[in-house]
């Protein structure tokens, strides 16, 4: 009986102790070590006014009050030195949810109210006055390139991904001479239009997994923990179908285009994957694996379909 009660009290102690220690440690961290202190709702709302008042008080402190009482223009250091002290001790910086939201990319505005019909015209005719060939000449009639090769299919990609790529080609964040020339000759509105148009087109028929073997399949669906390689499908969706607005479809892109992009990420010549995930992952793959993955996503050569 005694043994039993002792066991229970040990169990209770084990349950209660860890949260208690965490609580004390957190409190110590916030108050005891001269940290920011407890985050209070008042501090969060109080942080707004000083920002708007700052411009008003700063010129007054450095200009009018200290300089006017008889000081000659020569005594410049005085006002600047005086400008520092008037700052009242800053209120505890509160954090608002907005501090954590990413800035909105510029291409988002290109897509606003973009007219896909105008984009279709542009894709079919190009912009001869500016020397831009029709997109269809290289990217195929309905955004599916008949020959594959270095030309990617645009059909099956989201308008957001397409707009981002065109904006990146335009700014030089993604380098490829043909597309840099094309994208720089287009206006923001025209980029929105072609991206909106291609975003409506269905991708090529699916043949993912028919080639490339088990090694490629494993990398797609499972990744390789030993190399800290997540499954491609984690981001690119099941069978390379693409996911969300910004992760491109891989299914049906030619072996050559796929391999070119993987090598470009690997060498760092393509670095518009904003946080560098593709640069990191491509470096952990062997040449043979990239070949196998290329075949896996591409399916049969175009003429065999």
239 HSE (CA, 13 A, CB side): 9
- Tell me whether residue 44 or residue 118 sits nearer to ligand HEC (CB atom): 118
Q: Specify the residue, 32 or 245, whose C-beta has the smaller distance to ligand HEC.
A: 245
Those residues with Cβ within 8 angstroms of residue 157's Cβ, 6 or more apart along the chain or in another chain: 198, 199, 203, 242, 248, 249
Q: Which string of b and e fits 240-268 if b means at least 16 CB within 10 Å?
A: bbbbeeebbbbbbbbbbbbbbbbebbbee
Token couple for 42: 């008042």
Q: How far is the CB of 140 from ligand HEC (least distance, A)?
A: 10
> Would you say 62 or 255 has its CB closer to ligand HEC?
255
Residues in contact with ligand HEC by the rule CB under 6 A: 122-123, 132-133, 135, 137-139, 150-152, 154, 157, 162, 164-166, 176, 178-179, 182, 194, 219, 230, 232, 234-236, 246-248, 250, 258, 260-262, 272-273, 277-278, 281, 293
* Shortest spacing between CB 305 and ligand HEC, in angstroms: 19
Q: Find the shortest distance in angstroms from Cβ 230 to ligand HEC.
A: 4
CB of residue 282 to ligand HEC, shortest distance in Å? 7
Nearer to ligand HEC, 66 or 248 (CB): 248
The closest of 35, 50, 62, 45 to 88, measured between CA atoms, is: 50
- Pick the closer one to ligand HEC by CB: 47 or 133: 133
**How buried is 2 (Cβ within 10 angstroms: 0-12 exposed, 13-18 middle, 19+ buried)?**
exposed
Report the nearest approach of ligand HEC to the CB of residue 213 (Å): 14
Contact 241, 228 (CB under 8 A): no
CA quadruple 34, 38, 41, 44: dihedral positive or negative? Answer: positive
Any bridge partners for residue 132, and if so which? 127
Overall size of the chain counted in residues:
305
Q: Whole-number minimum distance, CB 13 to ligand HEC, in Å?
A: 43
The smaller minimum CB distance to ligand HEC, of residues 47 and 263, is found at 263
């Amino acid at each position: 009986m005694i043994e039993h009660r002792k066991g229970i009290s040990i169990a209770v102690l084990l349950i209660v102790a860890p949260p208690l220690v965490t609580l004390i440690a957190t409190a110590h961290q916030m108050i005891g070590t001269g940290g920011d202190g407890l985050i209070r709702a008042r501090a969060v709302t109080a942080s707004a006014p000083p920002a708007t008042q700052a411009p008003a008080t700063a010129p007054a402190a450095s200009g009018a009050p200290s300089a006017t009482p008889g000081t000659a223009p020569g005594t410049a250091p005085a006002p600047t030195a005086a400008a520092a002290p008037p700052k009242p001790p800053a209120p505890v910086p509160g954090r608002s949810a907005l501090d954590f939201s990413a800035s909105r990319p510029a291409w988002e505005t290109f897509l606003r109210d973009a007219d896909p019909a105008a984009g279709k015209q542009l894709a079919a005719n190009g912009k001869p006055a500016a020397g831009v060939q029709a997109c269809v000449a290289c990217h195929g009639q309905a955004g599916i390139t008949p020959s594959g090769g270095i030309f990617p299919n645009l059909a099956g990609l989201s308008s957001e991904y397409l707009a981002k790529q065109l904006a990146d080609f335009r700014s030089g964040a993604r380098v490829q001479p043909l597309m840099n020339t094309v994208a720089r000759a287009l206006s923001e509105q025209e980029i929105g239009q072609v991206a909106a148009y291609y975003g409506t087109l269905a991708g090529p028929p699916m043949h993912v997994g028919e080639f490339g073997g088990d090694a490629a399949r494993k990398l797609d669906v499972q990744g390789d923990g030993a190399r800290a390689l997540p499954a491609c499908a984690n981001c690119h969706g099941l069978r390379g179908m693409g996911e969300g607005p910004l992760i491109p479809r891989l299914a049906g892109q030619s072996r050559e285009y796929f391999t070119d992009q993987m090598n470009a990420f690997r060498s760092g010549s393509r670095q518009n994957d904003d946080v560098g995930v593709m640069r990191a992952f491509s470096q952990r793959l062997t040449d043979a694996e990239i070949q196998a993955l290329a075949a896996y996503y591409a399916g049969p050569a175009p003429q065999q379909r």
